[in-house]
């Protein structure tokens, strides 16, 4: 597992290293390399392409050698045994000479200026450790960025550390400083499908910063056989990460890193309310036309808030909303009945339209067609 002297010569002036992990991806390799050699940084001699071949049973090497014959700045590292995607990225990061690194998935494609724009963003923001952009959805294997119809965009949000509890935040083509690994370590190679998400958690918890470019600079291929969709592995690993990190203490920690006061009970309640609202109405970038919900995260946050203020109408109302969303209708009704019994509804609860709406549902014998409404404004306790 070594690089020749001729391969090493060009690498001293590299700005960005694109790490390509491949295993049984021969059908995508030519399109992947064609995409990368069209990058403006590559044409300026500032991008190296580093292919980590994880003992692939297919002949990606033939395609790579064809490109190496035409371009001097493509390296091929073949290892003797299969490695996880994260393990391959770690090998690539160890070999890389760029001050900035990116993972270039064999089936995804880039705008020709993608890596240059992401690099410029990091140069313009020395406080940032990572840059990322939006992507278009692709459903056609080996469709180039230019060929993409650009009809569906996965739009990511500006980085806000606590939203790591909701989903992976950086898309499929982030660019990060090589020095980031000195801060938070490498990818967890024991995870088969969610190593990028685990890296995102450690990134946020370390107080690292990311800069978002609100522009589609790539395309992401939706595949039923992808690591995230092929089986339950990705979901299982995400649930494991949820159990490890999504605690009341973890929530307060990330809000504190964003500058929020976490010293008083009132400030803690406000924080738990905020993340619960984000969870009860979340727009995942890859479901751009849908409003989804994460009631499990909402319940973690609301339960922590109720422990500090057990008679707050807003918290009780939203607790019932989250319970209904996980099909615990009887428990949701009991919470609303307790809320109704706690005070004079017309004076205390009636001011909140959502709470009033939900309390009126207590007279309905069946909740099959009823959707409880979350209360946005945090009210005072009884």
CB 288 within 8 A of CB 360: no
What local confidence, expressed as pLDDT, does residue 5 receive? 43
Q: What whole-number distance in Å separates Cα of residue 22 and Cα of residue 60?
A: 8
What local confidence, expressed as pLDDT, does residue 346 receive? 43
What local confidence, expressed as pLDDT, does residue 230 receive? 52
Q: For Cα atoms 32, 131, 172, give the angle at the middle one, nearest 5 degrees.
A: 40
- CATH classification of 246-363 is 1.10.3720.10, yes or no? no
Integer-rounded Cα Rg, in Å, for the chain is 24
What local confidence, expressed as pLDDT, does residue 8 receive? 46
Show me where the domains of the chain are located: 8-241, 246-363
What local confidence, expressed as pLDDT, does residue 362 receive? 86
Reading the chain (382 residues) residue by residue, the pLDDT tens digits are 444 444 444 556 899 999 999 999 999 999 999 999 999 999 999 999 999 999 999 999 999 999 999 998 999 999 999 999 999 999 999 999 999 999 999 999 999 999 999 999 999 999 999 999 999 999 999 999 999 999 999 999 999 999 999 999 999 999 999 999 999 999 999 999 999 999 999 999 999 999 999 999 999 999 776 555 557 999 999 999 999 999 999 999 999 999 999 999 999 999 999 999 999 999 999 999 999 999 999 999 999 999 999 999 999 999 999 999 999 999 999 999 999 888 654 455 556 889 988 988 888 767 777 889 999 888 665 4
- CATH classification of 8-241 is 3.90.550.10, yes or no? yes
What local confidence, expressed as pLDDT, does residue 380 receive? 61
pTM to 2 decimal places = 0.92
Query: Which two tokens mark 24?
Result: 């049984």
Give the β-pairing of 109-110 and 175-177. Answer: unpaired
Q: What whole-number distance in Å separates Cα of residue 288 and Cα of residue 152?
A: 8
Equal CATH topology for 8-241 and 246-363: no
Q: For Cα atoms 138, 286, 237, give the angle at the middle one, nearest 5 degrees.
A: 110
What local confidence, expressed as pLDDT, does residue 114 receive? 99
Query: Which two tokens mark 380?
Result: 């005072």
């Amino acid at each position: 597992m070594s690089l020749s002297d001729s391969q090493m010569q060009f690498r001293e002036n590299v700005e960005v290293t694109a790490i390509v992990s491949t295993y049984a991806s021969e059908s995508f390799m030519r399109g992947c390399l064609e995409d990368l050699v069209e990058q403006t940084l590559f044409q300026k001699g500032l991008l190296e392409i580093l292919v980590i071949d994880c003992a692939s049973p297919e002949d990606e090497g033939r395609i790579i050698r064809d490109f190496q014959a035409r371009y001097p700045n493509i390296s091929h590292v073949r290892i003797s045994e299969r490695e996880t995607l994260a393990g391959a990225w770690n090998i690539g990061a160890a070999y890389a000479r760029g001050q900035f690194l990116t993972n270039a998935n064999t089936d995804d494609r880039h705008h020709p200026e993608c890596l240059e724009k992401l690099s410029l963003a990091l140069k313009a923001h020395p406080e940032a450790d990572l840059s990322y952009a939006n992507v278009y959805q692709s459903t056609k294997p080996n469709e180039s960025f230019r060929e993409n119809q650009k009809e569906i965009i996965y739009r990511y949000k500006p980085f806000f550390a606590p939203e790591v509890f909701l989903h992976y935040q950086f898309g499929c083509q982030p660019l990060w400083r090589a020095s980031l690994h000195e801060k938070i370590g490498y990818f967890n190679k024991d995870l088969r499908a969610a190593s990028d998400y685990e890296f995102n958690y450690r990134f946020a918890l370390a107080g690292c910063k990311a800069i978002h470019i609100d522009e589609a600079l790539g395309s992401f291929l939706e595949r039923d056989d992808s690591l995230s969709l092929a089986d339950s592995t990705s979901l299982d690993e995400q649930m494991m990460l949820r159990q490890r990190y999504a605690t009341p203490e973890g929530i307060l920690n990330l809000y504190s890193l964003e500058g929020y006061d976490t010293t008083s009970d009132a400030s803690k309640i406000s924080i738990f309310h905020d993340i619960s609202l984000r969870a009860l109405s979340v727009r995942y970038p890859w479901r751009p036309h849908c409003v989804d919900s994460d009631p499990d995260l909402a319940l973690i946050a609301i339960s922590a808030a109720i422990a500090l203020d057990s008679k707050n109408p807003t918290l009780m109302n939203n607790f019932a909303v989250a319970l209904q969303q996980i099909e615990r209708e009887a428990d949701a009704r009991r919470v609303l009945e307790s809320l109704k019994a706690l005070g004079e509804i017309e004076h205390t609860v009636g001011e909140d339209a959502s709470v009033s709406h939900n309390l009126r549902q207590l007279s309905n014998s069946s909740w099959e067609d009823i959707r409880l409404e979350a209360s946005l404004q945090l009210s005072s306790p009884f």
